[in-house]
């Protein structure tokens, strides 16, 4: 089946007032996404997500334009099942035939940023479409699941003071054995961040895994200090201690601590992850299927994790489609142990689709439904399309 049409929709929906949160990104009142739709000549449709920002909000107009006016004209008429060829066509542009014949890349100028994010949504939609047409879940197309179920960690932790302990304990009460809390510049001082982390460990006890995420907001000196003064708290990982622009700084932090360092949610393509690895900067790789280049490129990153014996922990903060893309990826890799599950107010995870992904007692089962395993609610699109 050939690709008949590729469409993109900017969706923006409010977060219920009682479930909003505040972090270094500000007060989050809405969630944004670019929903990508690929239709084949047989009338079957696959869906994916392309991100304009790592966080919850971001203007998606440029991604919609890129998909509909730049990429769709290149791809309509191509075989929908030839996903790797589609990926290489976009990444290499008019020199794709050289890349194909010589076995190396000849990338376009936009080989990072908006174009690769747009490609991510198209690529994921093609995997969803292929799975539906073959009546198989995407994880089966990736080699099958490595386990029957996987643990999820509850991703939240914005509160301050004693409220933080109560917030995190509420996650554990739902069966989660791991939680992630936000730290960094939102706390104003390193000392305050340390104090919040101590509150978390005291509230949860020694048996719960605690991940901390600085969103890249510490300086190298601040991150080194934080890592040194929290080593006795036995953190599971320290995520994005400094900006992703500073891989050498991340490596310096990693050399100075026994706390594992996680990074990668805002990186594009396997080549950025290669650079993280060769710099000695990471213990945990966190590709986001809606940013890195889709499931195709995320699976290549998973291969790097498997090769270098690093942990794979896909960034699953987004809509049901990027969440399920990360779930299928994680189940396909022996290097993945945890799946991120958003505990913030996220209508795009729960209301965009007819049946939301099910996490029970802190675990999620291997996907069984065809494609990504979720179906879009058309009324939601009509209501929240920008």
Is the distance from CB of 134 to CB of 157 less than 8 angstroms?
no
Q: 299 — phi, psi (to 5°)?
A: -70, -30
Q: Nearest-CA neighbor of 126 among 60, 169, 75, 68? A: 75
Separation of alpha carbons 169 and 180, rounded Å: 12
- Relative to beta strand 363-365, strand 338-342 is unpaired
Task: Name residue 181's beta-bridge partners.
Answer: 212
DSSP, res 335: T
Say which residue the tokens 């992904």 belong to.
357
Place of tokens 């990072």: 112
CB atoms within 10 A of CB 365: 15
Are 287 and 277 spatial neighbours (Cβ–Cβ below 8 Å)? no
Of 27, 97, 192, 315, the active-site residue reads: 315
* Core vs surface per residue 234-269: b (16+ CB within 10 A) or e: ebbbbbbbbbbebbebbbbbbeebebbbbbbbbbbb
DSSP state string for 122-136: HHHHHHHHHHHHHT-
- Cβ contacts of residue 29 below 8 Å, gap of 6+? 14, 15, 20
215: annotated active-site residue: yes
Catalytic residue chosen out of the listed positions 215, 328, 337, 341:
215
Q: Which residues are catalytic?
A: 215, 315
């Amino acid at each position: 089946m050939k690709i008949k049409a590729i469409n993109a929709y900017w969706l923006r929906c409010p977060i219920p007032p009682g479930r909003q949160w505040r972090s270094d990104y500000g007060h989050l009142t809405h969630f944004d996404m670019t929903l990508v739709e690929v239709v084949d000549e047989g009338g079957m449709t696959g869906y994916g997500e392309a991100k304009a920002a790592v966080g919850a909000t971001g203007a998606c107009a440029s991604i919609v334009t890129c998909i509909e006016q730049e990429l769709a004209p290149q791809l309509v008429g191509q075989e929908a099942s030839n996903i790797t060829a589609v990926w290489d066509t976009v990444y290499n542009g008019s020199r794709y035939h050289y890349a194909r014949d010589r076995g190396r890349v000849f990338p376009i100028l936009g080989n990072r940023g908006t174009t690769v994010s747009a490609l991510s949504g198209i690529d994921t939609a093609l995997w969803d479409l292929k799975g539906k047409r073959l009546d198989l879940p995407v994880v089966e197309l990736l080699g099958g699941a490595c386990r029957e179920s996987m643990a999820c960690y509850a991703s939240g932790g914005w509160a301050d003071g004693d409220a933080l302990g109560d917030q995190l304990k509420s996650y554990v009460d739902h069966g989660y054995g791991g939680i992630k809390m936000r730290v960094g510049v939102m706390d104003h001082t390193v000392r305050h961040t340390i104090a919040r982390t101590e509150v978390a460990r005291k509230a949860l006890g020694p048996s719960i895994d605690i991940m901390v995420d600085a969103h890249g907001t510490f300086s190298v000196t601040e991150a080194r200090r934080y890592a040194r003064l929290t080593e006795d708290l036995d953190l599971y990982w320290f995520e994005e201690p400094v900006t992703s622009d500073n891989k050498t700084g991340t490596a310096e932090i990693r050399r100075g601590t026994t706390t594992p360092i996680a990074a990668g949610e805002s990186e594009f393509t396997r080549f950025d992850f290669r650079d993280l690895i060769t710099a000695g900067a990471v213990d945990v790789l966190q590709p986001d299927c809606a940013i890195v280049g889709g499931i195709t490129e995320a699976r290549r990153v998973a291969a790097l994790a498997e090769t270098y014996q690093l942990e794979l922990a896909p960034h699953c903060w987004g809509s049901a489609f990027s969440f399920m893309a990360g779930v299928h990826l994680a189940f396909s890799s022996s290097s993945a142990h945890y799946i991120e599950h958003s505990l913030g107010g996220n209508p795009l995870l729960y209301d965009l689709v007819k049946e939301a992904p099910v996490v029970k007692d802190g675990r999620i089962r291997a996907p069984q439904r065809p494609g990504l395993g979720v179906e879009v609610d058309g009324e939601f699109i009509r209501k929240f399309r920008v």
